[in-house]
Homo-oligomer: A and B are copies of this chain.
């Protein structure tokens, strides 16, 4: 029973997140239906990152166990054909090595958060960026973001419903920069708490508009208290851009 590793891109707008939930459209449900359409098999896929409602991906990784041996490019092309017209595509398919697991073998996740920072709302990028009207100081945000890098208790930046056993995480990369009208934030870690990226982004935006200083952000982190978090940034600007494996 070969295991296939699939690299997935999706527009999160039509979905109530990655994970299948009764009666709600999900990325997982759409891919599982495509598998059934392709080879008749009913299965559950496993994903590296459980993205929330409205969150996008350019580099999600999932795995599926198929009963038959197929060439990986046949799996990719057939799933893409069956996924039409869903805004989900399989960018790449590979046969996974023995024992490899999309979620448990992952050693790193990378997210990009996109802010459209201009007076006018987005037209072409509706639902794909967070619109912030007030000018953001990306350099100040980047400097403050370094406070978050390292091994910390991220309780402040963790959703109250988060089911992780521990709030301790190691943030490897936090980077903020401007590209024209957009301010981009990049975060990398072995794994993230629920809504951690959106919580950190919302708090960094407070620094960007000048309401918070770098020290305020540090105090929020050290408070280890959800109430110390800034407003959580909306899901529409968030992209899972890559998953790292030891291999």
Contact = CB atoms under 8 A, between A and B. Distances in A.
A124 B80 contact: no
Nearest to A87: B123
A226 to B, nearest CB: 31
Interface string A107-127: 000000000001111111010
Contacts of A118: 91
Nearest to A88: B123
A94 to B, nearest CB: 14
Contact of A120 (B87, B90, B119, B122): B90
Contacts of A122: 9, 89
B76 A123 contact: no
A10 interface: yes
Interface string A176-191: 0000000000000000
A128 interface: yes
Contacts of A91: 118, 120
| Chain copies in complex | 2
A76 B119 CA distance: 10
B87 A124 contact: yes
A128 B128 CA distance: 13
A119 to B, nearest CB: 8
B10 A124 contact: yes
A90 B120 CA distance: 7
Contacts of A88: 123
Interface of A: 9-11, 56, 58, 76-77, 80, 84, 87-92, 118-124, 126, 128
Given A9-B124, A80-B120, A80-B121, 5 more contacts: A56-B124, A76-B120, A87-B123, A90-B120, A91-B120
